[in-house]
Structure 1
């Protein structure tokens, strides 16, 4: 290479280094600028959100339009319908088929044939080539009318499709809708067909209405916070769980948006995590849901039902969000407003249909009248000599003029052309009387349509009533409306973890397996701990937690527990006086250390007991010999003390040093009997004063429950109890109070009377015969009940007068298994319970005669403290002695 060429190459490289490309920022312009906004608008308007006018998304509207195109009364293959819909819908066949299956599963617009899947089990539908469909009679009745439909070109301009279908029914609320778009979503829950019609009628009448969702999967729902379907609302839905026997539960209805598969998976997951304890689960679902849950022996069915609601998909929460498309933009409205707009739209459509019908009838009347004039007056003969078409029109027009004064509008050239098209055969067979009858019938129809237009609201109400009568059968409400009680998770969780304590070192936890076992617990529990120095702490269950040395008491903590009372004697500082106090711990801040003494150095607890039912024992106190002390031993009765807050100083016991304290006498409860109420709205017991008072209950008291199928049982009144829907008696059980009953023996086909006592409170008793046709007529738990017998009238004989039955005189108290005495040999039509005879009930020991102390309010410090989680009942220790 020459030197010249070499220099040129070097110069070229140098110039390349000097002109390196700089980073350039280019603004996005043109179509790129609007692409995302266009995409978002398309998804919102054309895919995810339904229109308020007809309640349909575009794909649903196009499917229904295609089905109408293809409708000939017979079933069509779904694959054929999907292919036809693709002329209107610019997306794949799979999305159309899925949308069609979803519409079909709502069982309102599509008449289905074949395997369309199962909303209960979640099974998918068969392939579209195997299943068939046609429009339902309801759809043909309320969805279509091409005369009032506004049309637009399809996406490729080859076809016409409806902008909105003229739906004359609140279809959106009946079917519900769910969709996720760009930046917004919608979730409109399905409502009951009959209730929607009733609400529409009320709106037309100017009355107020309320509509609540109704789910195809049935179940139980609490709509307290439904908020009219607006944003921020919430619906709680539960499965319907009942008890088959003491070891078996059955789920017959599931929450909306779940399937038997997902529900069973959630139950198994909760079991694996130790939240519930089950032996096995069986899915026997076919046409109806049946999931059997088998429990191990010793597991409470009532508590397991609550645990299923707390930890599995047996209870779910649904957040509705009413978003619809109106005037080509999204609008957030409640379901009541949706129904009002739908009803108003139906009213407008009915008016438009009546107006079109009136125009058509008037046109028919007009031409029928012209035809009669044309034939009756032989005007057709006037055109025999005319050679031109214009002459024919003119001749007919001239011939009509003398006879058309009664017509409602002027005769047009089009009318005359139609007259010329009448065939000779029709003219020759023309019957004037029949023609007049036709005209009069049209006049009657016109008058009726005009009447409907003048009374449009009444016409619309009659229209809705017809829909209810024609299509409402079998569409009764499926979801039971109920108010739910709040389930405290810590009360129902299975305690599958063991809690241990190292008292000396001050550690508590589930991993200290070499140390002292305390109790079973769960990972969501709180535990309460006391140390000998007079410290109190509540903390979450964990593997290992340091509390403080010399732990004297550990238990699972129950928030707001006023019945667990702690009895305490402590020395206030080293060498100080000793004090005694009784208190409950209802709420504190977690992981905060509280001082039960007065905070002086050297303070210690001399005596401690935890009493789950407010027991107050008697202790003997021994003093050390010092100086001139004369009385070295005395007794202290805790029942003499009032229950106060944990922060109080307490009453002085002695200013001298205590040598030891011994338990002299076990305590009895000093708390008042608990008042228990039954709240019928939630079907649960409570101590908060809600519902009907059942009575005051002490530790040994029980409830008496009698069901319609002749079962009597007694139960310990726990707040977790569930009661069946066929319960007819719920009251405090009094062992010596008889139960009186009249029942029908299905085998012997006659009525029997019996009176009995519950002999074994732990056993469930069936007190009617087990024949399938046996049933309980009346039952009473009064001491002296009276019944009225109404007899069946026998043809040809006088009516037998009613008789009164005194149960006490008729039959003595016998065993629960006794058959009883035959009621009568005559045919009984009806048995009515009358007012019982007066009876003075034996007095119970009143609450005032028991050692009772008033429970004082906690201190202001306690009121400000709060724990955030729930907890389990504290298992007490009594008489911990040091």
Structure 2
């Protein structure tokens, strides 16, 4: 009897080898059959099977999604939930699937209704560009019962139109959706041999900074922002969302940022339905412009996206650029069009061949050869021989299949044969063949016309939704809400937010930097903490901003225990945190006698009282810090006196010694700056303001704070001159008359409306802030000569609420304005403080005459 379960027959296998093979098989399966799309049709396998199943069920009517999912399971060996989710994602992109019912909301993130309640069918676009069984390569489904496409013959850059995300084993893909019309225009440009650029476009709109897009390759970066408008002084409204963010998620982030104290809002309302509307109500003390920046800095109103274009090319994953994908998609479309033309030409040639053969067969009564034949073979042989004299001009040899078709012609067709109609039919086929051959000979032109036709038929309503903008970099420390109360114990040397029994000095945010100055001349900068020891005898503690050159510190100090006294002015623009910097002297016993921090470079006058001494004629010195140059913090400063000082008293508050700030407007990021980017607006100081005037007849005065936003389009954006008259021509839609008015703006920051008419057809024709403007009126009547008007002479200056004077009653074709060039603002003289080449020398003219 044979021994059962013999150990001798067993063989050993290493587990490491099994795992290696199995893992490789699994990784290949996930990458090729689940996660990564094909470059040719832009579909993942589940998406391709859904589209094939829908085409299989297509009859022009809506099908229940549950039925489509069930049919798809013949091809996709997974559960119905994954198929339903994939189908909903395709449907929400509104390109391939015509949906009916509740398919969810891309704005709110609400999910679709159950598959049994919603319906779908293919769009006309999908039917035209996605399917063609004649050019499709097929393979067996997983169970071998059905055929499914390897790739669908998509004649459009669908992958870039829809975008895709997927995570495989060891790699992932993230391709952004792009604009339908821009993709077609880029394909046409490629076919013409021209350069093109492609940038993402999202259904949720928003704004997008593509300066680091890197053509969609790995390492690129996008910044996507919500569109935020200011409804009024206390209300902001989010009207468009960043890519991939829903209103629910965004509101949660805003609420969390508010709870953490990063931002300060009163309440938030979500009124989103077909359009996004999130209203954010602000407290009275919150700046709307600063809050917009804070929303971008601390919430998902701005997100960063890292694209990664990985696709399946053949049987391998490849990392490509968006431009390369577009080129390959376009070339693939051209090859499909060529294949379709070749198939069409072959079909036309077959029709022509049989129509010609039929004509020969009937006209020459070759059907008579059938008589007397007792078998099919004899009939076929007799007809074949009878046809031989007439087949010289045919495109190919006569095959047995042709003869069989001839013998199967109905008797009625033979008896009613019309020679003229047959000739017309053959001529029409020849015309179609010539047309197809022409298209094949001019394939690129044919492909261009194909793309143009697609755009004409389906491009309407697919305009760009996402605005391309270059974003400014928001400094979070400048927009963070001062949510922490900061305290100091000057004697013991502690600072922090937890010292609630000690002196409260200011409110700050938890991401601010704190600067401290001690009596011994040591400066230090630390982060905001509950309790930090910085050293005893604190003179000053404040919030420090990096690169702040306008905050100037004035100080008088003694070098060592008995050394001379020096004075210095300096700014602190950069440091290393938690490092002690000696600003007075390294000598032991150095001490600060007077210190002041001046946020706008103020320079005060102080009285230095000396201790009585026989060598001193006067014991009181007056020092004006405006006579002292602003130098680096390491500067020793100018000598005050070598004699002992009793005390230093403030005599007179100071004024700013800094020159007016030069302010530019950068139209790219729609922000002000002091770095020379964009258009110079002028030299600003104190209460100077910026004037903006928009097309709605609204003038607004704003401060020159660099945090202000100017996202709207303005007719005028300039430095405001309170004495400059504003001239305006506007059309009153209700009265159908043009008016001219001149007025001065009032000095307040509220919106000032100068166009009285609120009629929807009213509009501002011209507004200017330059004297001497003239208008040339071109009338609609051809026989009426143009008229010239000097606006300054036409009407005197009136109030901003005045309607103005009507200046023309006839119908106007156009108004041509002549505006004198405005003289540029003269650069103000800069206040230059005296400097000494030797910091240790006495300040001559200040204290030199006080000594014997």
What TM-score range do you get, normalising by the shorter chain? over 0.9
Change (3 A) 1:839 1:296: closer
**Map of 1:235 onto structure 2:** 222
1:664 & 1:708 partners in 2: Cα distance? 52
1:102 & 1:608 partners in 2: Cα distance? 65
Q: Which moved more, 1:661-670 or 1:453-462?
A: 661-670
> What is the DSSP-based 3-state SS (H/G/I as helix, E as strand, rest coil) of the residue aligned with 1:279?
strand
Cα distance, 1:784 vs structure 2: 2.1
**Map of 1:867 onto structure 2:** none
2:750 & 2:372 partners in 1: Cα distance? 110
**Map of 2:814 onto structure 1:** 830
Change (3 A) 1:765 1:854: farther
Is residue 504–residue 551 contact of structure 1 (8 Å, CA) maintained in 2? yes
**Map of 2:828 onto structure 1:** 847
> What is the DSSP-based 3-state SS (H/G/I as helix, E as strand, rest coil) of the residue aligned with 2:738?
strand
Give deviations 1:367-423, integer Å, cap 9, x for gaps. 111110111111111221222222211211111111111111111111111111111
1:854 & 1:276 partners in 2: Cα distance? 45
1:311 & 1:536 partners in 2: Cα distance? 31
**Map of 2:768 onto structure 1:** 780
1:803 & 1:218 partners in 2: Cα distance? 46
Cα distance, 1:318 vs structure 2: 0.8
By relative contact order (CA 8 Å, sep 6+), the higher-ranking structure is: 1
Q: 2:649 aligns with which of 643, 651, 662?
A: 662
Is residue 732–residue 759 contact of structure 2 (8 Å, CA) maintained in 1? no
Alignment of 1:575-614 (within 5 A): 575-614=562-601
Change (3 A) 1:32 1:523: closer
2:822 & 2:795 partners in 1: Cα distance? 18
**Map of 1:804 onto structure 2:** 788
The answer to whether structure 1 residue 731 and structure 2 residue 718 are counterparts is yes
**Map of 2:617 onto structure 1:** 630
**Map of 2:298 onto structure 1:** 311
Cα distance, 1:788 vs structure 2: 1.9
Is residue 770–residue 819 contact of structure 2 (8 Å, CA) maintained in 1? no
2:20 & 2:225 partners in 1: Cα distance? 48
Change (3 A) 1:724 1:31: closer
1:218 & 1:853 partners in 2: Cα distance? 53
Is residue 770–residue 822 contact of structure 2 (8 Å, CA) maintained in 1? no
Change (3 A) 1:840 1:525: closer
**Map of 1:528 onto structure 2:** 515
1:491 & 1:615 partners in 2: Cα distance? 22
2:833 & 2:798 partners in 1: Cα distance? 43
The answer to whether structure 1 residue 61 and structure 2 residue 48 are counterparts is yes
TM-score w.r.t. length of structure 2 = 0.95
Cα distance, 1:799 vs structure 2: 2.9
**Map of 2:184 onto structure 1:** 197
Give deviations 1:210-243, integer Å, cap 9, x for gaps. 1000001000000111111111111100000010
Structure 2 residue ranges without an equivalent (≥5): 1-11, 837-852
**Map of 2:247 onto structure 1:** 260
Cα distance, 1:761 vs structure 2: 2.5
> What is the DSSP-based 3-state SS (H/G/I as helix, E as strand, rest coil) of the residue aligned with 1:302?
helix
Give deviations 1:73-102, integer Å, cap 9, x for gaps. 111010110000010000111111110000
Alignment of 1:552-571 (within 5 A): 552-571=539-558
Cα distance, 1:776 vs structure 2: 1.7
1:194 & 1:715 partners in 2: Cα distance? 40
Q: 1:70 aligns with which of 42, 57, 67?
A: 57
Is residue 671–residue 853 contact of structure 1 (8 Å, CA) maintained in 2? no
**Map of 1:336 onto structure 2:** 323
Is residue 627–residue 834 contact of structure 2 (8 Å, CA) maintained in 1? no
Q: Which moved more, 1:615-624 or 1:331-340?
A: 615-624
The answer to whether structure 1 residue 650 and structure 2 residue 637 are counterparts is yes
Alignment of 1:250-649 (within 5 A): 250-649=237-636
**Map of 1:216 onto structure 2:** 203
**Map of 2:113 onto structure 1:** 126
TM-score w.r.t. length of structure 1 = 0.92
Cα distance, 1:727 vs structure 2: 1.7
Q: Which moved more, 1:237-246 or 1:713-722?
A: 713-722
1:65 & 1:806 partners in 2: Cα distance? 71
1:468 & 1:729 partners in 2: Cα distance? 38
Cα distance, 1:854 vs structure 2: 9.6
- Structure 1 runs of 4+ aligned residues shifted over 4 Å read 29-33, 838-841, 853-856
Cα distance, 1:269 vs structure 2: 0.7
Give deviations 1:140-177, integer Å, cap 9, x for gaps. 00000101100000000000000000001000000000
Cα distance, 1:302 vs structure 2: 0.3
2:823 & 2:158 partners in 1: Cα distance? 62
The answer to whether structure 1 residue 148 and structure 2 residue 98 are counterparts is no
The answer to whether structure 1 residue 821 and structure 2 residue 802 are counterparts is no
> What is the DSSP-based 3-state SS (H/G/I as helix, E as strand, rest coil) of the residue aligned with 1:678?
strand
2:658 & 2:313 partners in 1: Cα distance? 64
Give deviations 1:718-777, integer Å, cap 9, x for gaps. 111111423221000000001111112233332221111112323321111252323222
Alignment of 1:859-870 (within 5 A): none
1:538 & 1:254 partners in 2: Cα distance? 39
**Map of 2:4 onto structure 1:** none
**Map of 2:123 onto structure 1:** 136
1:420 & 1:359 partners in 2: Cα distance? 23
Give deviations 1:319-376, integer Å, cap 9, x for gaps. 1111111121211111111111111111111111111111111111111111101111
1:518 & 1:472 partners in 2: Cα distance? 62
Cα distance, 1:803 vs structure 2: 1.4
**Map of 2:8 onto structure 1:** none
Is residue 671–residue 852 contact of structure 1 (8 Å, CA) maintained in 2? no
> What is the DSSP-based 3-state SS (H/G/I as helix, E as strand, rest coil) of the residue aligned with 1:847?
coil
2:242 & 2:159 partners in 1: Cα distance? 21
> What is the DSSP-based 3-state SS (H/G/I as helix, E as strand, rest coil) of the residue aligned with 1:703?
strand
Change (3 A) 1:840 1:135: closer
Q: Which moved more, 1:369-378 or 1:665-674?
A: 665-674
Cα distance, 1:698 vs structure 2: 1.0
2:562 & 2:57 partners in 1: Cα distance? 100
Q: 2:689 aligns with which of 680, 683, 702?
A: 702
Change (3 A) 1:577 1:193: same
Question: CA-atom RMSD, angstroms?
Answer: 1.7
Give deviations 1:638-683, integer Å, cap 9, x for gaps. 1222111100111111111111112222222221111111111111
Is residue 614–residue 671 contact of structure 1 (8 Å, CA) maintained in 2? yes
Residues matched between the structures, number: 825
1:137 & 1:671 partners in 2: Cα distance? 68
Cα distance, 1:272 vs structure 2: 0.6
2:797 & 2:20 partners in 1: Cα distance? 91
Cα distance, 1:265 vs structure 2: 0.8
